[in-house]
Structure 1
């Protein structure tokens, strides 16, 4: 008997008792449906979080700032050391800090970011607004429209949030692209106002992670800094709000070692991945709990598979005896019943997956119109082939293992005893 014959025999035998088989498949379907929706939610949330912190190559980018020990009135004054100074108490870094950070092995692309303060901005409607913005960190920001700002050169470009686009009087993101806004800044020394024109090249999607800041191109931030520092003494010009670096290794243990080295020198360091690690963990725990419920449903379904196949062995005892009397080996009998178990798992998992996809589309539609309204780029439930194939494979394995006991019993039946069975 060839494998095709075994498969055909298993498929036809499944429907000897349609009601029993159908109910068993329904039990498997429920477990598959729960697992599929849960893993779909996990994929949707994790994909959105990953998208919010930029492309995968930059999630290890490290933000370095001065560290300050918290103390209360009962603590003794902290002794002075060369790693920490009173000059850092305003949160600013100096060239001396930059030199110390550069001595730490394991980091590259070290960049010092200066403060870029803008008094107000004006757009299409000439209304003055305060702007919350930062210089580009070179990551791929999640955009609704347009392109990323330049990370080098002198071009004055800006990414705006949807809120700023609306405030400036543009009807939509496409209308704002290519237009210019005016940034007004001044030096605290000269009090002289300077106007800087910036081209809108992209519109950011809303973010659940960051505060949804506007983003300056490298050239624009340099112009703002130059205007801010007009008339300042050189010592004050060489001060930085933070230092950005990239670890040479993506190994979490090595990154942790770098952070400890920086801590010993008086600095705190955090990667973009660390910043959202807690969010990833929270969502993974929540979906993990749901996966447990899906696993419980599959365990219950496996008992249904065992029961179905045991009943099938009892109903077909004489048939099994006849097959063995005609020369069918124990292995072939075992294979027939094992294939029946796998087919129950396959049908149940496929139907559950298809049902989950249908429910997922409906839930995504409802979510976009209700609790996810205004959060662009977030698809609550996402399905992908690796996860789908994994679910099918796991369920087929579970049903195969559940079917081994009745299949083994069928394989060991004595043909003479089986033929006499009433």
Structure 2
């Protein structure tokens, strides 16, 4: 029996008991579906992270923070930490330890660092629109967030200009119509606002700024609050620390360090920062935290899918063992007519592979269909994740799909070897006598 005839016979034999085959295939479909959905989820989040990193541009920068603020200091751990009166550090209103002027000078002195941009922490009180209405400003972004932001209109604030971006959830403040649905983000561009902030004596002052961009909150959490330019942020900080009659030492929530040839100097620069109790993160490092969480979830789902495929393999063994039992006389006849044990083994192994092919095709295709539909629904404009800018939940990964299909076929083949070996060992005379 030639190979094409062997394949045709395997296909026909598989379809003899349609219900039994269908139930076995269903178990494989569940595993294939889960593997496909999981790989698509992982690929979607990876694509989102890659897009955000690509949007960062050509600048080679590190986000530098105090290691203790990241929970990475030598004494970091659960419970209260010992107070060091010689540290000279300050904390933000959220308890985050700040960088000092000495820290900034140290960063500037590291070989390979060409420029350091310290970022002040400010906590404004309100934002006032051109019609005099004031709105509480519970949160304010920092200029360092600029590279990670996803803009739906306009551009990022220029460094030395008194400019600000606002999130798309604030667009209703700049819409004169009664219907606030589908507001054009361009409507807010060019608007002038006043940002009010209290000094150390609890006296309020305000600074005028122009809206130059509209952002949408993305997966990294950036873009969900107004973000000032460096000049505006510095002006607000100057007001915030005035009024006490006592000079306040400057403190910075973080610093942006430009590094010459970042890829080559990354280990050396981050090593020196670590020795000084600081931590330097690239944008990819920061977004990698999100990627790490998704990867951990993906591996758990991969585990469940493999368990499902393991259960399906026992179904294949059971199906083919029953088939061998039912076709004992047929096997004896084939051998009596000159079919070798190797071809008998190949026939039953092919039947197992055919079951795997059916299961993998249905599982992978259904996983892709459900994945893309779910992505469209969840991340669409009306979906629960529609406000998360630049988010892709599900993406096609051809290499992963190829691996999934190969794994399913391998499992099916291995599962079919036991029944196939049993069939190949049948004695033709004894098989023909079987009732």
Q: TM-score range by the shorter chain?
A: 0.7 to 0.9
1:370-389 residue CA offsets vs partner (Å, 9 max, x unmatched): 75475455555555434333
Q: Which residue of 1 aligns with 2:72?
A: none
1:349 and 2:350 are equivalent in the alignment:
no
Relative to structure 1, the CA distance from residue 312 to residue 227 in structure 2 (aligned partners, 3 Å threshold; closer, same or farther) is: closer
* Distance apart, 1:359 and its partner CA: 4.3
Question: Is residue 215 of structure 2 the alignment partner of residue 203 of structure 1?
Answer: yes
- Does residue 1:221 correspond to 2:219, yes or no? no
Q: 2:422 aligns with which of 402, 409, 422?
A: 409
Question: Are residue 142 (structure 1) and residue 153 (structure 2) matched?
Answer: no
Question: What is the CA distance between 1:413 and its match in structure 2?
Answer: 3.4
Q: 2:400 aligns to what? A: 387
Once the two structures are superposed, the pairs formed by residues 58-73 of structure 1 within 5 Å of their partners are 61-65=62-66, 67=68
Matching residue within 132, 141, 165 for 1:133: 141
Alignment-derived partner of residue 34 in structure 2: 34
Q: Alpha carbons of 1:2 and 1:147: their partners in 2 closer, same or farther (altered >3 Å)?
A: farther
Aligned counterpart, 1:400: 413
> Deviation at 1:402?
0.4
Quickly say closer, same or farther: Cα 1:15–1:115, change in 2 above 3 A.
Answer: closer
Change in Cα spacing, 1:65 to 1:375, as seen in structure 2 (3 Å) is same
The TM-score, its normalising length taken from structure 1, stands at 0.73
Q: Which runs of 5+ in 2 are unaligned?
A: 70-74
Distance 1:187 1:41, change over 3 A: closer
Aligned residue number for residue 106 of structure 2: 100
Q: How does 1:154-233 map to 2 (within 5 A)?
A: 158-169=164-175, 171=180, 172-176=183-187, 178-184=189-195, 196-205=208-217, 207=219, 209=221, 212-216=224-228, 220-222=229-231, 224-225=233-234
8 Å contact from structure 1 (residues 24, 308) kept in 2? yes
Work out the CA distance in 1 between the residues paired with 2:291 and 2:60: 13
Say whether the 8 Å CA contact 1:187–1:228 is kept in structure 2.
no
TM-score (norm 2): 0.71
What secondary structure, in the 3-state scheme, does the structure 2 residue paired with 1:16 have?
Answer: coil
* 3-state DSSP of counterpart to 1:213: coil
Structure 1 residues 49-58 or 29-38, which shifts more?
49-58
- Note the alpha carbon deviations across 1:283-319, whole angstroms, 9 max, x for none: 5444544443332222221111012122223333444
Following superposition, the deviation at residue 268 of structure 1 comes to 4.5
> Which range is displaced more, 205-214 or 341-350?
205-214
Per the TM alignment, residue 347 of structure 1 is displaced from its structure 2 partner at its CA by 0.9
User: How large is the RMSD of aligned CA atoms in angstroms?
Assistant: 4.7
Distance 1:53 1:63, change over 3 A: farther
In the TM superposition, residue 396 of structure 1 has moved relative to its aligned partner by 1.5
CA offset digits 1:125-180 (Å, max 9, x no partner)? 4423355131145524234x235526x66566543212322334374243436433
Question: Structure 1 residues 317 and 258, CA, compared in 2 at 3 Å: closer, same or farther?
Answer: farther
Structure 1 residue runs of 5 or longer lacking an equivalent are none
Structure 1 residues 180 and 355: alpha-carbon distance in aligned structure 2, compared to 1, 3 A threshold: same
Deviations 1:46-84 (A, max 9, x none): 65677678858899943323758799xx9998585xxx4
